[in-house]
Structure 1
Amino acid sequence: MDTAKLELAAQRYRDAQESLDAARADLQAEVVSVLSSTDERGAQAQVARITGWTREQIRLLMKAAREES
């Protein structure tokens, strides 16, 4: 059985997953940074629009960030 293509696809998948995880962590850090540094009205709604996340997801992210620090 030739598994070379399977091994290559599995490696590409792992690499893509690692990249996605890193991008998610970067985005979460940026969201926390932006919202922690402003009290501008509508900031959370703007972040929700840009990220595509719900306001509830953003609230939970901010709550977790506060609890972590």
Structure 2
Amino acid sequence: MDTAKLELAAQRYREAEAALDAARTDLQAEAVAVLANTEERGAQATVGRITGWSREYLRRLLKAAAEEGGGA
């Protein structure tokens, strides 16, 4: 049984999953930063359009960030 290709594919998958998680974390942080630092009308809609995230998801993201930041 040759498992070398399976091991390689599994490693590539783990690396891709880690990269995706890191990219998601970065995107969430950037979205929160934009929304927390602007009072511009339509900012939430713009962030939603760019990210593909719903307004409800963005509200939950902001709430979680505020809770992590000690209510900031």
What's the TM-score bracket when you normalise by the shorter of the two chains? over 0.9
Q: Deviations over 1:2-40 (max 9, x none)?
A: 000100000000000000000000000000110111011
Task: Name the aligned partner's letter for residue 36 of structure 1.
Answer: A
What are structure 1's unaligned runs of at least 5 residues?
none
What value does the CA root-mean-square deviation take over the aligned residues?
Answer: 0.4
Q: Deviations over 1:35-67 (max 9, x none)?
A: 111011100000000000111110000000011
Percent identity between matched residues is: 72
- In structure 1, distance between residues paired with 2:42 and 2:67: 23
Structure-1 residue corresponding to 2:55: 55
- In structure 2, distance between residues paired with 1:44 and 1:54: 9
Structure-2 residue corresponding to 1:38: 38
Aligned residue for 1:38, secondary structure, equals: coil
What are structure 2's unaligned runs of at least 5 residues?
none
- TM-score, with normalisation over the residues of structure 2? 0.94
Q: Does 1:4 align with 2:4?
A: yes
Structure-2 residue corresponding to 1:66: 66
- TM-score, with normalisation over the residues of structure 1? 0.98
